[in-house]
Amino acid sequence: MKTLIQALRTKELRNKILFVLFMILIYRIGSFIPTPGVDYTQVHECVTTLSGTSQENFIGLVNLFSGGSLLQLSIFALGVTPYITASIVIQLLRVVIPRFEQLHREGQSGEAKLTEYTRYLTIGLAVLQSATIIVTARSGALFGYMCSDVIPETDPWTMVVMVLVMTGATGFIMWMAELITDKGIGNGMSVLIFISICSGFLSNLWSIRNEDNGWVKFGVVVAVFVVILIFVDYVELCQRRVPVQYTRRMIGRKMYGGTSTYLPLKINMSGVIPPIFASSILSVPTLITQFGNSNANWVKWINTNLGNSTTVWYIVLYSLMIIFFTFFYTSVTFNPDEVADNMKENGGFIPGVRAGRATAEYLNYIINRLNTVGAIYILFVALIPTVLIKALDLNTQLPFGGTTILIIAGVGLDTLRQAKAQTEQFQYEDFLTAEDPDPDDDEDDKKSKKKSKKVKKSDKKLVTASVSDGESEASSENDSEDEVDDSEDSEGSDTDSDDTDKESDKE
């Protein structure tokens, strides 16, 4: 709260906050504009029918990230999902394609090139995903075959126009996110995801009170949510600080290095990627069953055991996938060998550990221990909705899941951290200027300044007087010297005249 107040007092930060709010307003308005060719009345009835649908499957996850725009088939139906998918794919391809790894090591220029590739892949995925959504909506599979005639016109031209509109809207969302990153506060994509999740949070939470003993269940859910949110914030701020010492080096005539620092390692280095990947993969079988015979045994088994997030099979597979992706994604994003080589090149070492291969093995040992704790932590957070549904016997789905809590906590902490940093940046004058003195001190300073001026004036008078006395003494000395010279000249002339008289007498 203190950071927000300080940010609002600064003109530059106030303008940035207003700009972010304006972008969010445009994003939410676009979420309610229907795509051309969609029967909005029929879509609204379908959304009302599916109000209690689980958000742990793939369609529910995409709908969560789009702020409910997917099931409304608006122009922003895809939301930020194509960009997130493209970013993850480009990041994973660094392991497979050496060119991407080389660009990553080049620094800012290489990252700019990877960002360009991410944008191209985002547009390609937007075309593919928009076409898939339109086909599934037309067949009724998007709404669980509970609704039909959502798209009355099925001619090819209408389909092409809908795909182009959704793809263009995805590009516009990507542009808005980059504007928020450049001219606002926080990461643009993270801010839009945060707004999308929070858009339907309160309404879904308020619907719990319609259950039996609704107010009791509502209070329990709110209390658990607050406690878990505080716990997630605490864990996300925890760090394993590995001490690093840099040796002194002589470069030219200057001495560099000799400092002590640390390498911060988070407990949850994989973020929200493991639950997202696990939910997406477990939703694939349920999507495949929509194209099979509903009376087949394998279709019934998948719908019974994997179609509901509270079954034993779903919980076991979900947990195993979260553990696997926690270790896998961390190994992709954090390379101990690369970190050890960079430390060795800059003259850094971990106290008690030799530089090079031993440092890489030590960092790998620490990362494995942190990943173990991080996987348990993600499992605990991700399975909370399932435990609450079982314990409270809720008929409706909870408004938050493990992925939702992790995103809300992570984005909120990151945005507040950036806002605090920019607030300190714009208030740098407080670090350079002292506090204003008291008025009594001002009067004393004025009196002392007047006294110093008087002393300076008296000193100037003394200096000028001494200079004038020196000049008079010098002039008197010059006069006396002139008189001596004149007397000497007169005596010389007298002696000359006496000599001439003596010579004349002799003759």
Nearest to 318 by CA among 264, 385, 218, 365: 385
pLDDT at position 478, please? Answer: 45
- Say which residue, 148 or 495, is predicted with more confidence: 148
- Say which residue, 439 or 42, is predicted with more confidence: 42
pLDDT at position 199, please? Answer: 79
Number of H helices, E strands in the chain: 21, 5
pLDDT at position 23, please? Answer: 92
pLDDT at position 428, please? Answer: 59
Report percent pLDDT > 90 for the chain: 12
Domains of the chain: 1-199 (1.10.3370.10)
Task: Centre a 10 Å sphere on the Cβ of residue 245 and count the other Cβ atoms it contains.
Answer: 16
pLDDT at position 479, please? Answer: 46
Q: Which of 22-36, 145-159, 475-489 is least confident?
A: 475-489
pLDDT score of 458 more than 70: no
- Separation of alpha carbons 284 and 302, rounded Å: 10
Sequential DSSP letters for 15-34 = HHHHHHHHHHHHHHHHTTSB
pLDDT at position 482, please? Answer: 46
State pLDDT tens for residues 300-320.
Answer: 888 788 877 778 888 888 889
pLDDT at position 477, please? Answer: 45
pLDDT score of 335 more than 70: yes
State pLDDT tens for residues 392-411.
Answer: 766 556 666 777 788 888 88
- Separation of alpha carbons 176 and 190, rounded Å: 12
pLDDT at position 460, please? Answer: 45
Instruction: For residue 107, name the pLDDT band (cuts at 50, 70, 90).
Output: confident
- Separation of alpha carbons 184 and 23, rounded Å: 10
pLDDT at position 497, please? Answer: 45
Task: State the Cα angle at 108 between 277 and 186, rounded to 5°.
Answer: 60
Task: State the Cα angle at 440 between 435 and 441, rounded to 5°.
Answer: 50
pLDDT at position 306, please? Answer: 80
* 319-331 average pLDDT score: 90
- Separation of alpha carbons 143 and 170, rounded Å: 22
Q: Per mean pLDDT, which of 65-74, 146-155, 165-174, 476-485 is the most reliable?
A: 165-174
pLDDT at position 495, please? Answer: 44
H or E stretch including 449? helix 439-506
Report the Cα 129 to chain-centroid distance in Å. Answer: 27
pLDDT mean across residues, the chain: 76
Q: Which of 199-213, 402-416, 445-459 is least confident?
A: 445-459
Nearest to 142 by CA among 155, 126, 129, 153: 129
Read off the pTM. Answer: 0.71
DSSP letter (8 states) at residue 276: H
Instruction: For residue 430, name the pLDDT band (cuts at 50, 70, 90).
Output: low
Report percent pLDDT > 70 for the chain: 74
Nearest to 360 by CA among 344, 336, 388: 336
- Say which residue, 169 or 61, is predicted with more confidence: 169
- Say which residue, 422 or 499, is predicted with more confidence: 422
State pLDDT tens for residues 233-285.
Answer: 888 888 899 999 887 776 667 766 667 888 899 888 888 888 888 887 887 78
CB 440 within 8 A of CB 263: no
Instruction: For residue 371, name the pLDDT band (cuts at 50, 70, 90).
Output: very high
pLDDT score of 112 more than 60: yes
pLDDT at position 434, please? Answer: 44
Instruction: For residue 463, name the pLDDT band (cuts at 50, 70, 90).
Output: very low
